Amino acid sequence: AWEEINNGLANPMVKVLAMDPNNSETIYAGCIGDGGLFKSCDAGESWSKIGENLPINLQITAIAITKDSHIYIAGWQQGIFESENGEKWEKKNNGLESLLIRAIAINPLHPEILYAGTQDGVFGSVNGGKRWKRLTNPPNQPKVWTIAIDPSATNIVYLGAWLSGVM
């Protein structure tokens, strides 16, 4: 049976969850509605709001974590933010032409290579989000909802797109 584990989770409108790949007790919950990012260090038994320097009511639409525990989040109409510990966040929007982000993916072999799926196509970064470049061309931009990277051939990237299926 399923049960709610919301102790300290002030916003029950959870859009995305992500687990730290180095610690299965650490879970991040990104919320919409009133927004916010929450962290649990005890497998969801209790939650704390984190990211004091993130925009107020940030609508979190995606979370991705590297093997060395760098965290990337996407905020609807705000872009991408990166943190080493979940407390201090840095905006990573240089070259990111669309801030309507629904997905973030990290290359499992080269964590400095990132992909952002947006309402206006896909963007890529080869330097941990310091600079983004458009990877899809107008006028037929896919509205990307999710991204998957082949773990055995990381140059193969799949997109799940609104009304376009899998690309």
pLDDT for 81-130, tens place per residue? 999 988 899 999 999 988 899 999 999 999 999 999 999 999 999 999 99
Phi and psi torsions of 118, nearest 5°:
-125, 175
Question: What is the largest distance, in Å, between two alpha-carbon atoms of the chain?
Answer: 47
Percent residues over pLDDT 70 in the chain: 99
With beta carbons less than 8 A apart as the criterion, state whether 40 and 87 touch: no
Q: Which of 67, 61, 155 is nearest to 117 (CA)?
A: 61
pTM: 0.92
With beta carbons less than 8 A apart as the criterion, state whether 32 and 60 touch: yes
With beta carbons less than 8 A apart as the criterion, state whether 34 and 13 touch: yes
The tokens for 12 are: 């029950």
